[in-house]
Amino acid sequence: MIRKEISKISEVGKALISVEGNPGVALNHVVELLNADTNQSLSFAKAINVNENFTRFQVFNGTQGLSTQTKIRMHEVPLTAGFSHNMLGRSFDGVGDVADGGPEVIFEKQVSTRLDTLNPTVRLVPKQPMWTGIPMIDVFNTLVKSQKIPIFAGPTEPYNRLLSQIAQGAQVDIIIFAGIGLKFDEYHYFKEQLSQSGNIDKTIMFTHLAGDSQIKGLMLPDVALSVAREFADEGKDVLVLLTDMTNWSNILRNVANYQDQIPSLQGYPGSLYSELARRYEVAADVEGAGSITIIGATTLESLEDPVPDNTGYITEGQFFLEKGKLKLARSLSRLKQQVNGSTRGDHRPIMTAMSSLLADAEKAHEAAEVGAANDVFSKKLLRYREDFIANMEEPFGEPIQLEAALDKCWDILRRHFEPSETGLSKKLIDEYWNK
Amino acid sequence: MGNDNKRRSATLISIQDSLVRARFRDNVIMGETAEITVDGKLLQAEVLQIYPDPKNPDAGIVEMQVFEDLTGAQIGDLVEFKGTPLSVLLGPGLLTSIWDGLQNPLYKLGEQGAYLVPGMKAPALDEEKLWDFTPSVKVGDEVKGGDTIGSVPEGRLDHKILVPFSFGRCKVERIVEKKSLNITEVVAVVVDEQKVRHELKLVFRQPVKSPIPFKERIIPSKTISTGVRVIDLLAPVGYGGTVGNPGPFGAGKTVLQHSLCKYALADIIIMAACGERAGEAVEVFKDFAELDDPSTGESLMNRMCIFGNTSSMPVAAREASVFIALSVGEYYRYQGYNVILLADSTSRWAQALRERSGRQGDIPGPEAFPMDIPDQIKGMYQRAGADAGTGGSLTFIGTVSPAGGNFQEPVTQATMDATGGFWGLSQDRADAKKYPAIDPLAYTSSVYDSFIPWADRQKILQTLNEADGIDQTISTIGLKKVPVDKYVLYQKGQTIDFCVMQQDGFQKVDACTRPDRLNIINQAVQKLIDSPIAFPKNGMEDEELKESIKTKFDGLRQWWRDWNSNATSEEQIAVLPEKIEQFILQEEYAL
């Protein structure tokens, strides 16, 4: 097939190029950039702004080395991702090219990366728990199949370790790893962990390392999620790990700035919410098909930063990691109520009672720092808080089954309180306090 | 006006995200809709701006927002103008419907595939379903816009068939007999004063930005029983009122909306899920269908319709979805029904306006929102209201998602200014799992009547306020310095907060409190506040005494919470004030 070629690049910027006039390229269609002398392929690019006076492209491999002489070859299709079952166990870059030095993958088909919205009517209301063996998740913020939930953590927290631990225990058919702006050792860590746990054969890794082309990082979630959707359409339960979406948002910010878009908060484009939502909303349990669960990582300095803030409004809760502990106060699984009513009868009430006591304990802790909180009950609360942090907020211990974790909750309450101080109903106290 | 017989068109000259520009030669009307042919599919658009063409004095340029994904659009693609502004189809069958933001029924679209792809469309209302029409006018009668020509039963509602609101005075030339017909059939022919004949059907289109008029607008006066105690006691809303409901993520906006959907007493609930999670809308239309309407005992869905323009759907349709929902609400208000519109979230709506104005290159206001965002928000809430002429009302409860949970941001501020009630959700209360996390002190305001006397309401607020002050004293200088009487007041405040302000949505009985029960609770609360309690000292030191007081209040609270979830019979309910009486007298009572 002969493809139309043009060669009049008028502007080369960071990650973007423009040509004068419009060569007949449609919005979001892909072109290939070629060395004018050797015809060697340099990169692909996507048309993001189509105008009768100019056409602007995002260049996948970056713009270093491009010149006004560079040739543009039109492909007249939007970006697609290659899909094949042979992708399992392999690593790819942000646009789906093989990145592990192994043999080329023969794709079975090309799939759209447009991430069309799933019709809400084919969604199932999520009702199946995904147990992790981590009490702070299983008891207090139960994870549910098809949930979309990020780990919020400072940049130095072990969020990737937590992500990898959850992934290894997850009851799923396929794991899609989508890493954006990773350091090499992070990539290596995941690969090692997945290999050691025997999960690598059901895993596909899409990786963008810090310093790689920004546009490839920007595309990566769409490519990874499109491949995930193909597996889900086949009936598979898929877990997608998106780390780190703050890196991704920062690329989005950079590219918006290169395009002179008016920033809203801290330089991020006004569309940050919609852009994040389009990716996270791919998580779904679909009638007559499989499911996609998304666990992300969002690094932050402050919860009020635009990325975690917007993410919080999009995702179905968040796991908040601080000083290596999963903090109860700021963690939330919005879907837990769908599943924790059909576990053991004390699950919900003890979760509520312990949370409420911990909130009081945090207040007592603050008071204690200024010398207050000397009364008997405050002292009980302070001891309870210590116990809770050590035994309930620790995510990296041995996995604990739900029932054992609930029993452990009663042990903690019993160690510090009288039954009436817990706010639990008399019926539950009678059933469990002296068990 | 454009020439009706001539098709007016334009060609695309610029495409970016959802904003396009096109060159036209004859005429374009501000706000009219258009269809753009992209890859053989028709995409819907709306005219935003018209200006001269610097390249061609004979042509003009029109700027449009497109409601669907433009992938594949090219320079030169054809635009055809429709002559009518964005509008909504009104008529029987609205109830129980589930649409996207442009009134495409989602179940019908689902028959075409699992994913929503550009160009997909389906008729807004079922065109085959038959309705039993009974005429109420006869040939020769004079009618005008908004007049009733007949009615059909829609579920248990009497759905009036109206002359479209844009019509002037007309004479009925023909009207069908009582019969079953569908929405595509003609029910009447009317002739206007220019002798033009118009065919009327069971349905008509109404421009979404033209409010449907009131007959006789009045100030909301009747309080809605929402079932949520903190609202009905301290921050009530009247039929026809407006409420802003801001809260940081995780503070419980969605749970509160769902609770209102289930328990608020109204004829109709409209849910505009605007730019929010798809899963939440799905939960409503899949799980709530199995719940009972609190007034009728029928399926809850029978009183609902849902606009599910969720967060991954095209941003431009978000603005449309809220206005479409408002128009449906006004339509039923005009029919004499009490309608509650829940818009979740108005911040996403405002963000859609921000995205658009950014693309249009407008000079940004605070946080890059359009400069006129406060006026737009006010204009939207103003469409709610009560109508004495029809007996209907439209109540508008909008959630706000402030960036960073900061209530000083432009949308929250404008909403506070625009609404009559304000339910501020607090992060601290949510963190402490005190639900619903409406902070009764910091952010509650309301101009509406409540089920309890104004003085009682003030007394509760004052007690909570004082208890909060004592709480802060305890936190800073310790319990020791707090006198015993103040400590008792603090415990009273804690008890009201724990047993009355907080509510367990998962306990069947506790989830919803109606006015009769609320009155008994209020009696108990007032008694508790008013009466000094003589705790026996028995020679105890202050510290020990306070500990014993706390233990007693702990016991009372545990009892009260059990009462909240278990007391159902009249006798069981009546026990509460007696229990408080005993507690005040410190008589022995059985736990």
- Domain ranges (residues) in chain A: 5-78, 81-336, 347-432
Q: Which two tokens stand for residue B417?
A: 């200014």
Non-local (6+) Cβ contacts of A80 within 8 A are A110, A111, A112, A113
Mean pLDDT (chain A) is 93
DSSP conformational letter for B498: I
Q: Which long-range contacts (CB under 8 A, 24 or more apart) does B44-50 make?
A: B44/B68, B44/B102, B45/B20, B45/B79, B46/B85, B46/B86, B46/B316, B46/B320, B47/B81, B48/B356, B48/B360, B49/B360
Coil, helix or strand for B516?
helix
Regarding the domain delimited by A81-336, which CATH topology (the fold level of the hierarchy) does it fall under? Answer: Rossmann fold (3.40.50)
Does B19 touch chain A if contact means CB atoms closer than 8 Å?
A: no
Task: Give the chain A residue whose CA is nearest to the CA of B114.
Answer: A119
What CATH number has the domain spanning B217-451? Answer: 3.40.50.300
Between CA A169 and CA A130 the distance in angstroms is: 9
B110–A119: do the CB atoms touch at under 8 Å? yes
Between CA B380 and CA B400 the distance in angstroms is: 14
Q: What is the pLDDT of residues B393-415, one digit of tens each?
A: 999 999 999 988 889 999 999 99
The string of DSSP codes covering A62-76 is: -STT--TT-EEEEEE
Q: Which two tokens stand for residue B70?
A: 């433009």
Between CA B62 and CA B36 the distance in angstroms is: 13
What CATH number has the domain spanning B455-585? Answer: 1.10.1140.10
Candidate from B115, B249, B550 with C-beta closest to A117: B115
A chain contacts of residue B277, beta-carbon cutoff 8 Å: 281, 314, 316
Mean pLDDT (chain B) is 93
Q: Which two tokens stand for residue A337?
A: 């109520």
Res A430 pLDDT > 80: yes
B chain contacts of residue A117, beta-carbon cutoff 8 Å: 115-116, 278, 310, 312-313
Between CA B402 and CA B16 the distance in angstroms is: 28
* Residue predicted with more confidence, A263 or B225: B225
Q: Å from A381 to nearest chain B CA?
A: 13
Q: Å from A168 to nearest chain B CA?
A: 26
Neighbours of A249 (CB within 10 A): 24
B chain contacts of residue A24, beta-carbon cutoff 8 Å: 74-75
The answer to whether the beta carbons of residues A45 and A23 sit under 8 Å apart is: no
Mean pLDDT of B548-554: 93
Coil, helix or strand for A8?
coil
What's the angle, vertex CA B339, arms to CA B337 and CA B341, rounded to 5? Answer: 165
A317–B250: do the CB atoms touch at under 8 Å? yes
Res B508 pLDDT > 80: yes
B364–A116: do the CB atoms touch at under 8 Å? no
Integer-rounded Cα Rg, in Å, for chain A is 25
> How far does CA B351 lie from the centroid of its chain?
18
Task: Give the chain B residue whose CA is nearest to the CA of A363.
Answer: B475
Res B588 pLDDT > 70: no
A271–B367: do the CB atoms touch at under 8 Å? no
Cα dihedral B565, B566, B570, B572 sign: negative
* Sheet-wide strand order for B170-175: B142-143, B170-175, B186-192, B197-201
DSSP conformational letter for B438: B
For residue A365, give the amino acid letter: H
Between CA A88 and CA A172 the distance in angstroms is: 14
Residue B2 is predicted with a pLDDT of 39
How many CA atoms lie within 13 Å of B209's alpha carbon, on the beta-carbon side? 11
A381 pLDDT band (50/70/90 cuts)?
very high
Residue B3 is predicted with a pLDDT of 44
Between CA B310 and CA B348 the distance in angstroms is: 10
Q: What is the pLDDT of residues A293-330, one digit of tens each?
A: 999 999 999 988 999 999 999 999 999 999 999 999 88
Residues present in chain B in total: 591
B chain contacts of residue A264, beta-carbon cutoff 8 Å: 354, 358, 364, 367-368
Residue B1 is predicted with a pLDDT of 39
B chain contacts of residue A257, beta-carbon cutoff 8 Å: none
Mean pLDDT of B368-395: 96
Neighbours of A365 (CB within 10 A): 16
Mean pLDDT of B72-85: 96
Residue B15 bridge partners (DSSP): A50, B20
The string of DSSP codes covering B6-73 is: SPPEEEEEEEETTEEEEEESS---TTEEEEEEETTEEEEEEEEEEEE-TT-TT-EEEEEEESS--TT-
B chain contacts of residue A314, beta-carbon cutoff 8 Å: 277, 311
The answer to whether the beta carbons of residues A199 and A164 sit under 8 Å apart is: no
Q: Å from A256 to nearest chain B CA?
A: 11
Q: What is the pLDDT of residues A192-243, one digit of tens each?
A: 998 898 899 999 999 999 999 999 999 999 999 999 999 999 999 999 999 9
Q: Is the ipTM of this complex over 0.85?
A: yes
Q: Which two tokens stand for residue B172?
A: 């009925």
Task: Give the chain A residue whose CA is nearest to the CA of B552.
Answer: A420
B279–A312: do the CB atoms touch at under 8 Å? no
Res B109 pLDDT > 80: yes
B75–A50: do the CB atoms touch at under 8 Å? yes
Task: Give the chain A residue whose CA is nearest to the CA of B108.
Answer: A121
Res A164 pLDDT > 80: yes
Residue B589 is predicted with a pLDDT of 44
For residue B339, give the amino acid letter: V
Between CA B288 and CA B261 the distance in angstroms is: 9
Surface of B (75-134) touching A: CB under 8 A: 75, 98, 106-107, 109-110, 113-117
Which backbone phi and psi does B108 adopt, to 5 degrees? -65, -45
C-alpha distances (whole Å) from B434 to each of A177, B422, B430, B505 are: 37, 18, 6, 11
A120-140 as b/e: b if 16+ CB within 10 A = bbbbbbbeebbbbbbbbbbbb
For residue A71, give the amino acid letter: K
Best probe of the A interface among B43, B277, B472, B501, by most A CBs < 10 A, is B277
Nearest partner of B246 among B336, B377, B391, B129, judged by Cα: B377
B312–A119: do the CB atoms touch at under 8 Å? no
- Please, what CATH class does the domain formed by B9-85 belong to? mainly beta
The four Cα atoms B523, B529, B534, B537 give a dihedral, to 10 degrees, of 130
B chain contacts of residue A58, beta-carbon cutoff 8 Å: none
3-state helix, strand, coil in chain A (%, to 5): 35, 25, 35
A chain contacts of residue B510, beta-carbon cutoff 8 Å: none
For residue A418, give the amino acid letter: E
Does B484 touch chain A if contact means CB atoms closer than 8 Å?
A: no
Q: Which two tokens stand for residue A172?
A: 């799923």
Mean pLDDT of B531-540: 87
Between CA B364 and CA B344 the distance in angstroms is: 24
Residue A30 bridge partners (DSSP): A46
Candidate from A116, A316, A334 with C-beta closest to B115: A116
- Where do the structural domains in chain B lie, given as residue ranges? 9-85, 126-202, 217-451, 455-585
Instruction: List the end-to-end C-alpha distance of chain A, in Å, as a whole number.
Output: 76
* Residue predicted with more confidence, B587 or B115: B115
A chain contacts of residue B311, beta-carbon cutoff 8 Å: 273-274, 277-278, 281, 314
Q: What is the pLDDT of residues B384-394, one digit of tens each?
A: 999 999 999 99
Which backbone phi and psi does A186 adopt, to 5 degrees? -70, -45
C-alpha distances (whole Å) from B546 to each of A359, B269, B470, B530, B580 are: 21, 49, 14, 20, 19
Neighbours of B458 (CB within 10 A): 11
Percent of chain A whose predicted confidence (pLDDT) is above 90: 85
Mean pLDDT of A363-389: 91
Between CA B573 and CA B392 the distance in angstroms is: 34
H/E stretch holding B500 reads none
Which backbone phi and psi does A22 adopt, to 5 degrees? -125, 115
Between CA A308 and CA A299 the distance in angstroms is: 8
What CATH number has the domain spanning A5-78? Answer: 2.40.10.170
Between CA B558 and CA A419 the distance in angstroms is: 10
C-alpha distances (whole Å) from A185 to each of A179, A189, A321, B25 are: 12, 6, 21, 61
Nearest partner of A257 among A9, A15, A10, A11, judged by Cα: A15
B chain contacts of residue A261, beta-carbon cutoff 8 Å: 358
B283–A377: do the CB atoms touch at under 8 Å? no
B432–A355: do the CB atoms touch at under 8 Å? yes
A chain contacts of residue B116, beta-carbon cutoff 8 Å: 116-119
Mean pLDDT of B580-587: 88
A chain contacts of residue B275, beta-carbon cutoff 8 Å: 273-274, 277
Q: Å from A189 to nearest chain B CA?
A: 32
Candidate from A119, A306, A337 with C-beta closest to B115: A119
Best probe of the A interface among B53, B66, B75, B411, by most A CBs < 10 A, is B75
B chain contacts of residue A348, beta-carbon cutoff 8 Å: 506
Res A140 pLDDT > 70: yes
Contact pairs from chain A to chain B, CB under 8 Å: 235
Nearest partner of A364 among A352, A349, A348, A375, judged by Cα: A375
Residue B590 is predicted with a pLDDT of 39
Best probe of the B interface among A274, A337, A354, by most B CBs < 10 A, is A274
What CATH number has the domain spanning B126-202? Answer: 2.40.50.100
Q: Where are the alpha helices (DSSP H) in A259-346?
A: 272-280, 306-314, 336-339
Residue A35 is predicted with a pLDDT of 92
Q: Which two tokens stand for residue A121?
A: 């009517």
Residue B506 is predicted with a pLDDT of 84
Task: Give the chain A residue whose CA is nearest to the CA of B481.
Answer: A372
Res A99 pLDDT > 80: yes
Between CA A135 and CA A146 the distance in angstroms is: 20
Q: Å from A159 to nearest chain B CA?
A: 21
Best probe of the B interface among A53, A112, A420, A430, by most B CBs < 10 A, is A420
Between CA B315 and CA B312 the distance in angstroms is: 8
Non-local (6+) Cβ contacts of B588 within 8 A are none
Helix then strand count (H, E) for chain A reads 12, 21
The answer to whether the beta carbons of residues B36 and B46 sit under 8 Å apart is: no
Residue with tokens 């009985």: B509
Candidate from A281, A360, A418 with C-beta closest to B278: A281
Candidate from A277, A304, A373 with C-beta closest to B404: A304
Q: Å from B75 to nearest chain A CA?
A: 6
Q: Which two tokens stand for residue B107?
A: 């179940």
Between CA B39 and CA A150 the distance in angstroms is: 38
Q: Which two tokens stand for residue B359?
A: 């693309």
C-alpha distances (whole Å) from B505 to each of A8, A337, B569 are: 65, 11, 20
B278–A271: do the CB atoms touch at under 8 Å? no
Between CA B154 and CA B84 the distance in angstroms is: 28
**Maximal CA-CA distance, chain A:** 85
The answer to whether the beta carbons of residues B135 and B190 sit under 8 Å apart is: no
DSSP conformational letter for A120: G
The answer to whether the beta carbons of residues B39 and B51 sit under 8 Å apart is: no
